[in-house]
Structure 1
Amino acid sequence: MVILIFFLAHWFLSLFFQTFFLHRYAAHKMFTTHKFFERTFHVLTFVCQGSSFLNPRAYAIMHREHHAYSDTEKDPHSPHFFTDVFQMMWRTVISFREHERKLKEPEARFKGNYPEWRLLDYYGSTWYARLGWGLLYVAFYMQFATAWWMYLLLPIHFMMGPIHGAIVNWCGHKYGYSNFDNNDKSRNTTPFDFFMLGELFQNNHHRHPNKPNFATRWFEFDPVYPVMKVLHWTRIIRLRKPALT
């Protein structure tokens, strides 16, 4: 039971800060916040993602490229140019590392207005940090695992962030229904997206990329949006008026 709770906590906390801080804040600036809270969210993203920490600058640039070139050959992770999800994941890793290490100069329109913390972003992306987090996961399992099969969950812990991205980018552009014609292949994989915290409303999101609520129809539910509303009411963040066109 302890291992299951730990796994689910890691899954959903890592995913929450990926969608809340990296996606909705770093890439799209759906809300503003005080520098203190920005740094707090930055640290929590590092802690919750652990060995698969994603650099906010690199994430924001690559995601903006994805929106600009959705499902074209310039899209860094469209599933329609790969034979399987593993090839897409590898291509995504290459694109991400180019931006993370500043080996590729992005277009001017994709640059700026994202959180940067030089020390944390550098340290969190080193193999020392990733290995350290990995050893902590292994130590936790050695202490609390009660069956051999539980250790099969460890690779998911090691690669949590890329796994989340692969699910969203593969399924969200191949399977499900469409509310809008976005001139791409984006889909809403499921009308109640608790498992991926609203990230599988790709069709809605590509239609309204700056709208903090990824759900649009009455039967759809984005579980992160109510959390954002509470943070807005408590003045920790300030939701901006979404651009609906």
Structure 2
Amino acid sequence: MLILLFVIVMWYSGLFFQSFFLHRYAAHQTFTMSKTAEKITFVLTWIFQGPSYLSAYGYGIMHRMHHAYTDTDKDPHSPSYDENPFAMMWKTKNIYQDINNDRVEVDAKFKKNVPQWKRFDAFASSRFSRVLWGVLYITFFAVFATAWWQWLFLPVVLAMAPIHGVIINWFGHISGYRNFKTKDTSKNLFRFDFLMMGEGYHNNHHKFGSRPNFGGVRWYEIDVTYLIMRFLHRINLIQMKPIKIDVQRHR
């Protein structure tokens, strides 16, 4: 029972910081925060993503490229140009690492105001850090696993961030429904996004990339991450930009 609880907590906490910090803050800048809060969030992202930690800099730039080149041969991850999810994520990994390690030239428009903490990222992305988290996770399973099948969840927690990426970037362009006609294949995965905390409203997001609320087009589209953001805004930890869009006109 404790193993299942651990997997659930790591799934949603890691997903929250990927959606809140890497996606909505680093890539789209739908809100602002102080430099102190930003550094604290860097550390929290490392804690909750663990061995699959993603840099805000590498993720932010790559995601902006995804929006600029969606479903073209320049898209860092598209089912239209990859044979299967594994091939797509392997290509994504290589592009991410090239960007994060400054091995490729990146257009200045993709780098504008993307947060970067080089010294921390060098540690958090290091082999030492990833192996350390792996050892801690394996130790936790060794102490608390009560049945052999619980060990099947170990690869899930070790590769949590890539799994989140596959769900959105592969299946979010293959299956689901569309509220808007867009020039890409983006789809909303769920009517109520219980699994991805709002990230599953992919078609909505591709239509309105700068909108902090990925849901809200239909009454059942509840974006849990956005609700948390509203609370953080209310207690002054972040400042959300007032963006109003008449979604009815764009259906």
Q: With structure 2 as the length reference, what TM-score do the two structures score?
A: 0.95
1:43 is paired with a residue whose SS is: helix
Equivalence for 2:173? 173
**Residues 1:123 and 2:132 aligned together:** no
Equivalence for 1:43? 43
Q: In the alignment, is the contact (CA less than 8 A) between 1:171 and 1:200 conserved in 2?
A: no
**CA distance in structure 2 between the aligned counterparts of 1:243 and 1:234, rounded to whole angstroms:** 21
Report the alpha carbon displacement of residue 219 of structure 1 after superposing the two structures with TM: 2.1
Give the 3 Å change call, closer, same or farther, for CA 54–243 of structure 1 in structure 2.
farther
Report the alpha carbon displacement of residue 50 of structure 1 after superposing the two structures with TM: 0.6
Gaps of 5+ in 1: none
Equivalence for 2:223? 222
Please list, as runs of the form range in 1=range in 2, the aligned pairs for 1:158-237 lying within 5 A after superposition. Answer: 158-215=158-215, 216-237=217-238
Equivalence for 1:15? 15
Equivalence for 2:147? 147
Q: Once superposed, what is the RMSD of the aligned Cα atoms?
A: 1.2
**CA distance in structure 2 between the aligned counterparts of 1:35 and 1:194, rounded to whole angstroms:** 31
- Identity rate of aligned residues, in percent? 47
2:45 is paired with a residue whose SS is: helix
Deviations 1:21-76 (A, max 9, x none): 00000000000111111111111001000100001100000000000001111110
**Counterpart of 2:10 in structure 1: which amino acid?**
H
**Counterpart of 2:166 in structure 1: which amino acid?**
A
**CA distance in structure 1 between the aligned counterparts of 2:221 and 2:12, rounded to whole angstroms:** 19
**Counterpart of 1:69 in structure 2: which amino acid?**
Y
Deviations 1:105-164 (A, max 9, x none): 111110121221122111111111100000000000011000111111111111111110
**Residues 1:2 and 2:7 aligned together:** no
Equivalence for 2:242? 241
**Counterpart of 2:120 in structure 1: which amino acid?**
L
**Counterpart of 1:85 in structure 2: which amino acid?**
P
2:173 is paired with a residue whose SS is: coil
Q: In the alignment, is the contact (CA less than 8 A) between 1:232 and 1:238 conserved in 2?
A: yes
Please list, as runs of the form range in 1=range in 2, the aligned pairs for 1:63-102 lying within 5 A after superposition. Answer: 63-102=63-102
Q: In the alignment, is the contact (CA less than 8 A) between 1:30 and 1:212 conserved in 2?
A: yes
1:7 is paired with a residue whose SS is: helix
Report the alpha carbon displacement of residue 180 of structure 1 after superposing the two structures with TM: 0.9
Equivalence for 2:135? 135
Gaps of 5+ in 2: none
**CA distance in structure 1 between the aligned counterparts of 2:156 and 2:103, rounded to whole angstroms:** 28
2:80 is paired with a residue whose SS is: helix
1:80 is paired with a residue whose SS is: coil
Q: In the alignment, is the contact (CA less than 8 A) between 1:210 and 1:243 conserved in 2?
A: no
2:239 is paired with a residue whose SS is: strand
Report the alpha carbon displacement of residue 243 of structure 1 after superposing the two structures with TM: 7.1
2:6 is paired with a residue whose SS is: helix
Q: In the alignment, is the contact (CA less than 8 A) between 1:194 and 1:222 conserved in 2?
A: no
